[in-house]
Structure 1
């Protein structure tokens, strides 16, 4: 009887104590570094415990210490200051009353997004080493033998922290790849899997490049993957996960580029594990793309479909989760499918559409659905 493993995209709800520490530091308030580290260590242990309790096999640190999955680089690398232009997603601009309501009700996160205004180099401030140590200690404490750590891709950094220093976007992208590759290598050298978060391969189509044609955007996405693969040149492919995303927010999503159009780009990334949305109403139908284009999926690629939606407080029935998993096991076999979530449950510190307790209930439903699917193989 095959066993379907379980994981998720990475970020998880942070406690109020964690949020207070992160935003205190963000605002320049005096923060005791010893207390900050102690709060993070304790919180990572707790979030790993909750993942294990929910039946998750491949765990993360919940991105506990990071203010967001992409903009954390401003704190760990030189070259960022000021503020980047804010580009509202194209779908929200089509529905201005909804966008206004979401903004006024706290439905959108607020956080610093500086521009790149100088050369990008690592500050070597030890934050990554602390994250790794906290996760590995929590895994040992709770009896977990496999974990992963998220890192921003060059492309997603260029999406949110825009260029005001390098001669053009392409030069900025390659500078980011050069700067970030040591982070990727350090994570893998620690024994953890590396997950690259790449909403730039989908979300940026309707956020930064909405004036381009789909074909023009795909050429940019291909360049982003080329830069990413360059940054991964010393990292074994079987230690790499890649996550593509159209934006982890509840909204119309009527401008999302189709998976079919970015499928070859996604499959060209140097990653053994591919995570993607297939639970939310805008992308649930796209499992058929994987069936129809099975020949284009590399033989050693493992699919990690999102089988629970991260933008709603509905807790999926385990039977529905099992059915979603089985769509993919029928395509590539149960040994090449891991059950995952559409996106993160804590993309930005202190902000999330899903109640923290419900987030872990959804992960438990994910695990139960994986068990059902495994028993039916």
Structure 2
């Protein structure tokens, strides 16, 4: 028996990559050919390091993206200005900690425009380059399986807020229609498509702090409905979905419980479900899956976050194995994959974990998977 190892997607970018991304972000002049060459070289190195660490299903590290959600503004029209910023509810409860994060650079500043017009694709040129870079690197380093991240309609609506469509539902529907080609293009390229959906949990204590948990679950269900519309016709076995409560070190005392969003998560038309189990606020929630195992569709595969992405502790591989075994006992080894809680480079130029420690965490993830098997 073999347990596969993967991760959530983003990895720490080199300074050369960061410099190019922020030059573009600030609207500064840059050499586009040099930009493309830098991205190609960086993706090759990132795939090489993943293969070296033993990762079975690799990504491009989201190298060319300024962030996992706001990259959309560079590839789709209809965005301008700036969206309101709203700190997570738990950080508001601890203002001295929030101030410390801000002063330390722990709250990145980058463009979050609003939707001010009809959302339309500018073409799949940048995506095509990303796919080409990843597939070339996989071939060069003898990696058979790869995935590419894409923002879900719900997470786009969280960070790039609506100031054009008459309702949130109309905005979600427009985003679902606009993103459909991106999703299909990734799948047709022979890669796994990963939809990043922190909106199904994180947005509870960001954008929807004024709602009750029950009211928020209805909002989350509408996000899943929009996502499933965008995925219509695509094979579920090629789709991964990631849910999280926010990739930051903090109290997380306002996080909604997994038990409350569990049915919504299971409704997504995707085979692979990625979620946190290392986060100390949610590490106990493996029991939700144990107690509600009958509600997990047989086709679902659980991709477990068994290494944390907000601290520089390198988990012992035996701890990783223990975390995996809990879920093996629930759904069987054939339906468990080892993963990370979140990405290591959610925003370009920002990351709590030292780059070399991040690679050590991925190596211990694979060793833990080997032990669990």
* Same fold? TM cut 0.5: yes
Structure 1 Cα separation of the partners of residues 269 and 183 of structure 2 = 13
Deviation at 1:124, TM superposition (A): 0.8
Specify the alignment match of 1:153 in structure 2.
Answer: 152
Q: Runs of 4+ in structure 1 displaced over 3 angstroms? A: none
Equivalent residue runs for 1:64-143 within 5 Å: 64-124=63-123, 126-143=125-142
Structure 2 Cα separation of the partners of residues 354 and 96 of structure 1 = 23
Specify which structure has the higher proportion of strand.
Answer: 2
3-state SS in 2 of match to 1:121:
strand
Deviation at 1:234, TM superposition (A): 1.8
Structure 2 Cα separation of the partners of residues 114 and 70 of structure 1 = 12
Structure 1 Cα separation of the partners of residues 14 and 277 of structure 2 = 28
Normalised by the size of structure 1, how large is the TM-score? 0.98
3-state SS in 2 of match to 1:42:
helix
Specify the alignment match of 1:256 in structure 2.
Answer: 255
Deviation at 1:300, TM superposition (A): 1.0
Does structure 1 residue 51 correspond to structure 2 residue 50?
A: yes
**Which residues of structure 1 form unaligned runs of 5+?**
none
Does structure 1 residue 246 correspond to structure 2 residue 238?
A: no
Equivalent residue runs for 1:298-377 within 5 Å: 298-374=297-373
Specify the alignment match of 2:223 in structure 1.
Answer: 224
Aligned residues: 373
Deviation at 1:343, TM superposition (A): 0.2
Deviation at 1:110, TM superposition (A): 1.1
3-state SS in 1 of match to 2:349:
coil
Structure 2 Cα separation of the partners of residues 25 and 224 of structure 1 = 30
Does structure 1 residue 18 correspond to structure 2 residue 17?
A: yes
Equivalent residue runs for 1:25-36 within 5 Å: 25-36=24-35
Structure 1 Cα separation of the partners of residues 214 and 126 of structure 2 = 39
Structure 1 Cα separation of the partners of residues 233 and 111 of structure 2 = 32
Deviation at 1:195, TM superposition (A): 0.2
8 Å CA contact 2:309, 2:342 repeated in 1: yes
Structure 1 Cα separation of the partners of residues 208 and 115 of structure 2 = 19
Structure 2 Cα separation of the partners of residues 107 and 306 of structure 1 = 22
8 Å CA contact 2:124, 2:182 repeated in 1: no
Structure 2 Cα separation of the partners of residues 245 and 371 of structure 1 = 25
Deviations along 1:298-338, one digit per CA (max 9) or x if unpaired, are 00100001000000000000000000010111101111000
Equivalent residue runs for 1:167-246 within 5 Å: 167-246=166-245
Deviation at 1:125, TM superposition (A): 5.5
Pairwise CA RMSD: 0.5
Specify the alignment match of 1:8 in structure 2.
Answer: 7
Normalised by the size of structure 2, how large is the TM-score? 1.00
Structure 2 Cα separation of the partners of residues 237 and 114 of structure 1 = 32
Deviation at 1:210, TM superposition (A): 0.7
Deviation at 1:107, TM superposition (A): 1.1
**Which residues of structure 2 form unaligned runs of 5+?**
none
8 Å CA contact 2:150, 2:193 repeated in 1: yes
3-state SS in 2 of match to 1:119:
strand
